[in-house]
Structure 1
Amino acid sequence: MLEIKRLWKVYKNGSGIKDVSFKIRKGDLVAFVGANGAGKTTTIKTIFKEIKSDSGSIKYDNHLIEKKDLRKMAFFPDSNNIPLDLKVNEYIEFVGLLYGIKSSDIENARIKLLNMLKITDLGESKLKDLSAGEKKKAIMAATLVYKPELIIFDEPTANLDVKSKNEFLTIIKKLHDQGITIMITSHLIDELQLISNWLVIIDAGKIIYNAEFDNETQKIIDIHNKLIGKENPDLNQIDDFYGNKSNT
């Protein structure tokens, strides 16, 4: 479905992505794992042509990606990267019109989506006045309004409480069950363990793991730690700070 091949985007400070290659097959739920600054967001922005790559190619259904293909895809952004002064209804309409959906179809979809996400009473509320969980649901409604074939989520559960995280991951799993292809970027490995069937790990701008993932027999954290290593704090400094009370 989507193939990223030898993609480069290096910034002046040396950060960025370097020779990134991986595929997202139709029907996959891909975990795109990496620490903050590893290159996840740069990869996504390059896919959606928000930034221009230095070299490499991106294909959709075996041809170089075009504007019409981007209309089949959706990017679920960080909550801070949306027009917060818009009302929920206005935001959904804005996204729908941006993707060429008729106003009548947007309205029908909006009613269904707000009801599905249990935020029917928030349609006239401004995005900036919503809680973190409500804001995520509003973004989800706008993301689904034009029924994309592929959705890329960037840290979708960031800043959510446990209940809201579980609810959101359940929605994502249900979308996948409906045949929607999904990639989720996250540094919260445990959340992706039970729902992913393909694993891509990026570190310092380079893909270091790219393979099918069996969430019943494999653990993302074990693969991650084997490849990158586990960061161990200096416990002696804690002893020193508290006057070595553990030995008293």
Structure 2
Amino acid sequence: MIELKSVFKVYKSHKGINNISFKINKQDVVAFVGDNGAGKTTTIKAIFKEIKLDLGQITFNNEVITKKHLQKMAFFPDSNNIPLDLKVEDYIYFVGLLNGVGKKEITKRGDKLLRSLNILDSKEQKLSQLSAGMKKKAILAATLVYQPEVIIFDEPTANLDIKAKTEFIEIIDKLHHQGITILITSHLIDELQKIANHLIIIDKGKIIYDAAFDKNKESILEIHNRLVKPAQNNIEDILGVYDD
């Protein structure tokens, strides 16, 4: 499906990603785990050709990724990075047109998606008027309207309450069972534990773990903590200021 081969991206101050290679296989749910600054965002930007690689290659079904391949892939954006002044139906329409879907088909698919997500009654509301959970569903409907084969979710449950988080993870799991390939990042590892069947861990720009994952026998948190050294904070020095 998607394969990264010896990919490098170097910034002036640091190496963003350093000789990383991994493959996202068809119908996998890949948990992509790493601490802040580990290289997750740079990797995702590289996949979507938002940054220029210094070395390496990224392919989709063994072909170097081009615009035609990008139309088979989707990135689930943060709620803060979408035009919140648009109505739900207009946002879906905009995303559909941008990705080559016909006008009538957008309306047909959009209504079907909104109905399945239980927010059809909100299609004439502005995105800014929706609750955080409903907003995520509206964004997902727009993401699905052009029927991507792969969806990359970056912290998809951020800013949701417990109930909405649980529901959204269940929705992602259903998408997987409908045949969509998924890569997902989250700081809430317990969410990934429920749905992942493959685990990739990145640390300091390097892939340090890449293997199939059995959620019933393994723990993402335990694997991560075994391989990634925590930041060294001298707690005694920090608290020592109160000794004076």
Q: Return the TM-score normalized by structure 2.
A: 0.93
Residue 20 of structure 2 corresponds to which residue in structure 1? 20
Counterparts of 1:38 and 1:173, CA distance in 2? 26
Aligned pairs for 1:185-224 within 5 A: 185-224=185-224
Residue 165 of structure 2 corresponds to which residue in structure 1? 165
Aligned pairs for 1:126-141 within 5 A: 126-141=126-141
Q: Is 1:34 aligned with 2:40?
A: no
Residue 146 of structure 2 corresponds to which residue in structure 1? 146
Residue 9 of structure 2 corresponds to which residue in structure 1? 9
Letter in 2 for 1:227: L
Counterparts of 2:146 and 2:230, CA distance in 1? 42
Counterparts of 1:233 and 1:215, CA distance in 2? 32
1:232 Cα deviation after fit: 8.3
Dislocated runs of 4+, deviation >2 Å: 128-131, 229-243
Aligned pairs for 1:79-118 within 5 A: 79-118=79-118
- Using a 3 Å threshold, how does the CA distance of structure 1 residues 240 and 81 change in structure 2: closer, same or farther? same
User: SS where residue 124 of structure 2 aligns?
Assistant: coil
8 Å CA contact retained: 1:153, 1:182 = yes
8 Å CA contact retained: 1:114, 1:120 = yes
Residue 246 of structure 1 corresponds to which residue in structure 2? none
User: SS where residue 193 of structure 1 aligns?
Assistant: helix
1:128 Cα deviation after fit: 2.4
1:78 Cα deviation after fit: 1.2
- Using a 3 Å threshold, how does the CA distance of structure 1 residues 25 and 129 change in structure 2: closer, same or farther? same
Residue 177 of structure 1 corresponds to which residue in structure 2? 177
Residue 73 of structure 1 corresponds to which residue in structure 2? 73
Per-residue CA shift, 1:62-110, capped at 9, x if unaligned?
1111211111111101111112222111110011001110000000011
Counterparts of 1:111 and 1:79, CA distance in 2? 21
Counterparts of 2:53 and 2:124, CA distance in 1? 39
- Using a 3 Å threshold, how does the CA distance of structure 1 residues 18 and 233 change in structure 2: closer, same or farther? closer
Letter in 2 for 1:110: G
Per-residue CA shift, 1:171-229, capped at 9, x if unaligned?
00001011111110122211101211100011111111111111111100111011013
Counterparts of 1:237 and 1:227, CA distance in 2? 26
Counterparts of 1:32 and 1:44, CA distance in 2? 10
- Using a 3 Å threshold, how does the CA distance of structure 1 residues 134 and 237 change in structure 2: closer, same or farther? farther
8 Å CA contact retained: 1:36, 1:187 = no
Counterparts of 2:234 and 2:64, CA distance in 1? 49
Structure 1 unmatched ranges of 5 or more: 244-248
- Using a 3 Å threshold, how does the CA distance of structure 1 residues 230 and 98 change in structure 2: closer, same or farther? same
| Percent of residue pairs identical | 63
User: SS where residue 104 of structure 1 aligns?
Assistant: helix
Q: Return the TM-score normalized by structure 1.
A: 0.92
User: SS where residue 195 of structure 2 aligns?
Assistant: coil
Counterparts of 1:241 and 1:134, CA distance in 2? 46
Counterparts of 1:217 and 1:41, CA distance in 2? 29
Q: Which moved more, 1:87-96 or 1:223-232?
A: 223-232
User: SS where residue 43 of structure 1 aligns?
Assistant: helix
**CA RMSD of the aligned region, Å?**
1.9
